[in-house]
Each structure stands twice: as C-alpha cells, then as structure tokens.
Amino acid sequence: MAQNVYDNPEFFEGYRQLPRQVHGLDGAPEWPVVRAMLPDMKGLRAVDLGCGFGWVSRWMRENGAASVLGLDLSENMIARARATTTDAAIEYRIADLDALDLPARSFEVAFSALTFHYVADFGRLVRAIGRALVPGGHLVFTIEHPVYMAAAGATWQADAAGTPVWPVSGYSREGERRTDWFAKGVLKHHRTIATTVNTLIDAGFAIARLGEFAPTPEQVAARPGLACEIERPMFLMVAARLAGRPD
C-alpha cells in the first residue's frame, strides 16, 4: 500500500492551504497547458486518479463528461471532495493506485494530477489504466519533473552571479526519494523521463504531447514568486493515447 501522508493531520493542515487547494484550478499555474492536452469531454466517461479535493472531476462534468469516477487513497481528500460536490454523475471512492483494479474498457479518459510519483510500480499502474480505457482512450497526467525531484534534499543554490540554480544529481539512480514537505519523510519515487515515456509505450500508449512547466510572463507579473520556476521545470505533463480505434 502506498504511503498515505495526506491523512497525516500536520501534512493535511499545510496542504489544504496551498493556493491550488484554496483557489482550485485558478491556483494551479500549469493548468492552462494541462487543459489544452485534454480532449473534448462531451459525453466521455472519465476517471480522475488521485482526485484530491475533486477540482478536475468537477471541471470535467462542467465541460460535458457523461460521468466521472474520482479515486484517492486519502480519507481526508475523499471527504472534502464529497462535501464540495453535488453532482450525482461524479462518484468518489477511496482507492490505492498501487493496487488499481478497474473494469475493462470502462473509460474514454484517465487523468491524474501530481500523483503518479507516489506510486512505486509505475508499469503496473499504466497497464491497469490501459485495460480500463477503451481503444483510442486518452491518458493525461502531471508529475513532479524528474529534474526537480532527482536530487535528494535539493534546495536552491546560487551561482557566481547570484542567479538561482537548482542542483541535479542522482538523475539516473531511480527509486525512492524522501523529502520533508509539511511532514517528515514524505516518500516519492523518482523515474527518468525516458523510463516514464518508455513505460507508456511498452503498455501500448502513443505519446501525443509532452509539456515541461515554465510560467508565462503574465503569470510571473501576477505572482512574482513564480519567477524562479523559469530556472528549472517543476512539473512534467504528458498526454498519451491507447493504441487502437475507438469502438
């Protein structure tokens, strides 16, 4: 079973105050790029893997999805998602993505935001998603960028000119990374970009689009704290399609 840090009271108290949790999708600066990777949702069945507070699940329904299944390991997350959702076509369940088991050919879209880097066996997860999607189905997800999470305990440094520099080390050494973020010893799993992409290809997916988050000048002007994000990508964004033609 995956580490369930989101039900740690100390962690959850800090997490729920993040701008992306207070303001929803408007507080997620990568959302415009991610939104453009998603298909037209009209009439589609979707699963939101690691749904959190349900922001994307609700967005999908507002944009025409026929139904949405939101899954999350955290009881806190599911309780919050249920409390803020009144749409009967959205169902939320507690589920461990490390043991994901969904009905075959049940969804046209699978989505996940900043969750897959908590999953130990990415290959198993991707194969499970492939079985759950119809041929031609869409998988769109974001993860912490491997450049961002490769170096254990990385913090900003400065070069001789005083420019912020993000250290990258241990990039090719895949596996567990521990970090102190709202709580001690949060467990994540580092994989290279090549491993991430090739795992998808081996499971029958074709890569449709890749994105590496960098803020726009407009975003930096509105939120000056984002300026440092130009120096290194924090998020990797992936859109893929399962082989085969839709039924």
Does the pLDDT value for residue 29 go beyond 70? Answer: yes
Predicted local distance difference test score (pLDDT) of residue 246: 67
Q: Residue 122 phi/psi, 5° resolution? A: -65, -35
Does the pLDDT value for residue 240 go beyond 90? Answer: yes
Give the separation between CA 196 and CA 201, rounded to whole angstroms.
Answer: 9
Q: Is 228 exposed, middle or buried (0-12, 13-18, 19+ CB in 10 A)?
A: middle
Strands 164-165, 157-158: parallel, antiparallel or unpaired by DSSP?
antiparallel
Residue 197 vs residues 18, 47, 206: alpha-carbon distances, Å: 29, 21, 9
Task: Say which residue the tokens 């998808």 belong to.
Answer: 200
- Which residue in 67, 8, 6 sits closest to 42, CA to CA? 67
Does the pLDDT value for residue 185 go beyond 80? Answer: no
Token pair for residue 235? 């998020």
Write the DSSP assignment of 200-230 as a string of letters. Answer: HHHTTEEEEEEEE----HHHHHH-GGGGGGG
Higher pLDDT pick, 43 / 244: 43
**3-class DSSP state of 175:** strand
Token pair for residue 207? 């890569």
Model confidence band, residue 14 (pLDDT cutoffs 50, 70, 90): low
Model confidence pLDDT, tens digit, residues 91-107: 999 999 999 999 999 99
CATH architecture for residues 5-152+173-242? 3-Layer(aba) Sandwich (3.40)
Q: Is 217 exposed, middle or buried (0-12, 13-18, 19+ CB in 10 A)?
A: exposed
**Beta-carbon contacts of residue 26 (< 8 Å; ≥ 6 apart):** none
Question: What is the reported pTM?
Answer: 0.90
Token pair for residue 83? 């409390």
Model confidence pLDDT, tens digit, residues 110-119: 999 999 999 9
Give the separation between CA 88 and CA 14, rounded to whole angstroms.
Answer: 30
**3-class DSSP state of 126:** helix
Does the pLDDT value for residue 1 go beyond 60? Answer: no
Give the separation between CA 235 and CA 111, rounded to whole angstroms.
Answer: 15
Determine how many CB atoms are found less than 10 A away from the CB of residue 164: 13
Token pair for residue 111? 């989505």
Q: For the chain, how big is the Rg over CA atoms in Å?
A: 18
Percent of the chain with pLDDT over 70: 87
Give the separation between CA 166 and CA 38, rounded to whole angstroms.
Answer: 30
Predicted local distance difference test score (pLDDT) of residue 4: 59
Give the separation between CA 247 and CA 235, rounded to whole angstroms.
Answer: 33
